[in-house]
Amino acid sequence: MKQRSFVMLKPDAVKRRLAGEVLGRFENRGLKILAAKLLVITPELAKEHYGEHSERPFFKDLVEYITSGPVLATVIEGEECISLIRKMVGATNPQEADLGTIRGDYAIDTGRNIIHASDSETSAAREIALFFEDSEIYDYSMPDEEMIYEEP
């Protein structure tokens, strides 16, 4: 089943000039970028996006981190892509992330783990709607769709 995931390169990824390299991993895998924009998240949007963590001790630091510079917010589409992207992203704590994952290859600290990706269809729908208007999300066909999927 085709799914859409909300994937965000956090301020440390943008400032470290890793955005292109990380997005390239998804493109190389065969996933399709439907939307992308650079923006500085307001504290209000940060608190909404990370609402599930509002009672956690790291919440204040998390909001400060995620609003500390521009993020690259994207919508990515592909077959079962929500779990696929989470696998590519790796564990929340980069010390525990496998080599070959994004966090395992580019990050060291949980509080600077460079990327967010939706963890379920429910959160993907919620997060995409928080960051994007429908008109900012583009659907198009890939010319090599048959090379990526047996049954496109």
Catalytic-labelled residue, pool 5, 71, 116, 117: 116
- Residue number, 58 or 149, with CB nearest to ligand GDP: 58
Q: Are 118 and 127 in contact (CB under 8 A)?
A: yes
Determine the Cα–Cα distance for residues 67 and 43; give it in Å rounded to an integer.
6
- Residue number, 2 or 53, with CB nearest to ligand GDP: 53
58 labeled binding residue: yes
Determine the Cα–Cα distance for residues 4 and 16; give it in Å rounded to an integer.
26
CA distances from 131 to 6, 14, 75, 124 (A): 9, 17, 9, 11
42 labeled binding residue: no
Interface residue list for ligand GDP (CB under 6 A): 53, 58, 61-62, 92, 110-111, 113, 116, 119
How near is the Cβ of 44 to ligand GDP at its closest, in Å? Answer: 17
Q: Is 53 among the catalytic positions? A: no
Looking at the annotation, which residues are catalytic?
116
